[in-house]
Amino acid sequence: MAAILELKDVDAHYGGTQALFGVNCAVEAGAVTTLLGANGAGKTSTLRAICGMVRRTGEIRFDGHRIDGKSTEDIVRMGIAHVPEGRGTFTNLTVQENLDLAAHARRDRALVGEDAQRVFGYFPRLKERLRQQAGTLSGGEQQMLAIARSLMMRPRLMLLDEPSFGLAPLVVLEIFQIMQRINREDGVSIFLIEQNAAMALDLAHDAYLVETGRIVMSGKAADLRDDDAIRRTYLGH
Amino acid sequence: MDLFVSQVLSGVASGAIYGCVGLAMVMIFTSTEKINFAQGEMATFSTYVAWTLMTVGLPYWAAFAATVAISFAAGVLIQRTLLAPLRDAPEMSQVIVFFGLFLVFNSASGAIWGYLPFDFPSPVKAFSTGTTLIGAHQLFIILVAVLMLTLLFLFFRYTSLGLCMRAAAQNPVSASLMGVRVGWMLALGWGLSAAVGAVAGIMVAPVVFLEPQMMVGVLLYAFAAALVGGIDSPPGAFVGGIIVGVLENLVGTYLVGTDLKLTVALVLIIAVLIFKPTGLFGSRRVARV
């Protein structure tokens, strides 16, 4: 399988603080890849480095093209949708406006309606709340809106930052099932960061482990799930 | 009674101008959290540009349209060249740039056009409203302001570009993840607010005469207007402008006399900041610490 996303020796800096040290990883086309790690290990920084939201060096390729010198706006327009931590809701805009915004830069206007229908198929609750201010949605609904927004960009790769954060277990389950359908039915590759390592490893094909800004382990998700160290530290059994 | 009605109506007219300048401030504030102190001086400069265009023979509306276009372009240019490089600079650096712009535009107006007041034309001077309660130009001010607000509302509410500008102002990081070119949206915001300021300047000039300090007082009222409305609410700025304009006139006429009118604005600013910092329509900000 060819990699849709490839990071080679990527460093990232916040001001004078280095957050990533020579990170190498890849997301196979059509697969779900997860990046595990403790708080502050460099998970979010990795996603930010991909999208040009933090100063980074090294080589990042999307679909074979270098993107490490490009701006965030140009990178997402190439087909990478980033669902950021905290969900990035435009609280004063309506749900409809949030979705329109996501589709604004698309050239294939004719397909936008079709994508909207698919999104409402996944999240019927959003369709009921189109005219509502997005800030009045519940946390779970806002997470759904964040995923819906990224789908409205018709991405080939989705970067998901802690989609389960702060949500009730049932809502988390629903969101994970939908992510699986997005991957299988729509063929969108997914790079997932998740605190809930057990669920992430169940969904993912491949997995990486990051510690203090360095990738320390990588392999098939199933293999990592059976690894003793991972089980003790991240799965808690 | 006639005095009261005519004071209220002329308050609405001057309030419409305060509201427009206040709106221009709010448009920049919502995306940068800073007050552009040069807003009034930029508007004065624009008004001089309009005056010059009319003096060289352009008809009123042609000069009006050209000035709005020039002001828009100048606003975009100022943001791109002076403020964009400072986006990550400390707050004070940006505030100093605003003060610098204030001085530059104020002095440039005086250096180019001198300090003597000019008579500025109004296209409706020849008309009469058929009543002594409101002058033709005052009515004209209200109509132009309402028309401009309606256009701005339609632009922000119903166009894709307007939506992108709102998104960029509200949540720049998330907006750039939606492919919105945030830097350009900020520049467009500057362009729009400079254009709105230019219209306000052209409207107020026939009332107060055109001279370099023309907008200094107006800016203070506009700031009061923006605060009364809630500093982050564009419609609030306009409503606030009307309230300030009417209050200024009534308090001036019945209570303190015209000499102390400007004090009304100051008292209002302080009162709002003390008793209701969010104004009428502003949003309360809650910060997680």
Mean pLDDT rounded to a whole number for chain A = 92
Q: Is residue A125 part of a domain?
A: no
Instruction: Please report whether residue B280 resides in a domain.
Output: no
**What is the count of structural domains for chain A?**
1
Is residue B192, in this structure, part of any structural domain at all?
A: yes
- A171 lies in a domain? yes
> Comparing A5 with B258, which gets the higher pLDDT?
A5
Of A215 and B127, which is predicted with more confidence?
A: A215
Mean pLDDT score, B79-104: 90
* pLDDT confidence of residue A109: 86
CB < 8 Å to B176, chain A:
53, 71-73, 76
Closest CA to A193 of A86, A58, A85: A85
Helix (H) or strand (E) holding A18: strand A17-28
pLDDT for residue B286 is more than 70: no
The DSSP result for B210-239, as a single string, is B-TTHHHHHHHHHHHHHHHH-TT-HHHHHH
For B168, the closest chain A residue by CA position comes to: A90
| A149 found inside a domain | no
The reply to whether A12 falls in a domain is yes
What pLDDT is recorded for position B8? 92
Residue A79: strand, helix, or coil: coil
State yes or no: pLDDT of B289 exceeds 60: no
Chain B residues within an 8 Å CB radius of A154: none
Q: Per the domain annotation, does B140 fall within a domain?
A: yes
Q: What is the pLDDT of residue A227?
A: 86
- Report pLDDT for A192: 96
In a domain, B234, yes or no: yes
**C-alpha distance from A73 to closest chain B C-alpha (Å):** 4
Residue among A72, A77, A90 whose CB faces B167 most closely: A90
Of B88 and B86, which is predicted with more confidence?
B86
Q: What is the mean pLDDT of chain B?
A: 91
- Nearest beta carbon to residue B178 from set A53, A91, A101: A101
CB contact under 8 A, A72 and B176: yes
Overall domain count for chain B: 1
HSE-CB at B166 with a 13 A cutoff on CA atoms is 24
The confidence score (pLDDT) of residue A162 equals: 93
Q: What is the pLDDT of residues B17-60, one digit of tens each?
A: 999 999 999 999 988 888 899 999 999 999 999 999 999 999 99
Instruction: Name the CA dihedral angle for B203, B209, B214, B219, rounded to a multiple of 10 degrees.
Output: -40
The answer to whether the CB atoms of A76 and B177 lie below 8 A apart is yes
CATH number of the domain residue B247 falls in: 1.10.3470
Q: For residue A195, what pLDDT band results from cuts at 50, 70 and 90? A: confident
**Is A78 an 8 Å CB contact of chain B?**
no
Tell me which residue range forms the domain holding A52. Answer: 3-89+155-235
Identify whether A127 is part of a domain: no
Residue A5 Cα distances to A11, A181, B60, angstroms: 16, 20, 59
pLDDT at residue B288 in the model: 54
B283 inside domain: no
Q: What was the pLDDT predicted at A226?
A: 87
Residue A230 lies in a domain: yes
Q: What is the DSSP letter of B259?
A: G
Q: Is the pLDDT of residue A6 over 70?
A: yes
Contact B179 A97 (CB under 8 A): no
Whether the complex's predicted ipTM is more than 0.90 is answered with yes
Q: Would A185 be classed as within a structural domain?
A: yes
CA distance A236 to chain B (A): 31
Q: Which residues contact B23 (CB under 8 A, 6 or more apart)?
A: B149, B152, B193, B196, B226, B234, B237, B238, B241
Residue B170 at interface with chain A, using a CB cutoff of 8 Å: yes
A124 has a pLDDT exceeding 90 = yes
A104 near B CB under 8 A: yes
Q: By the CB < 8 Å criterion, does A93 face chain B?
A: yes
Establish if A94 belongs to a structural domain. Answer: no
**Order of all β-strands in the sheet with A55-62:** A17-28, A3-14, A55-62, A65-66
Domain containing A183 — which CATH number? 3.40.50.300
Does B287 map to a domain? no
CA dihedral in degrees (A51, A54, A60, A62; nearest 10)? 0
Instruction: Please indicate if any CB of chain B lies within 8 Å of the CB of A154.
Output: no
Residue B50: domain span: 2-125+134-275
Q: Token match 């280095």: residue?
A: A18
Q: What is the pTM of this model?
A: 0.89
Chain B residue with the nearest C-alpha to that of A92? B170
pLDDT at B287: 59
Say if B285 falls within a structural domain: no
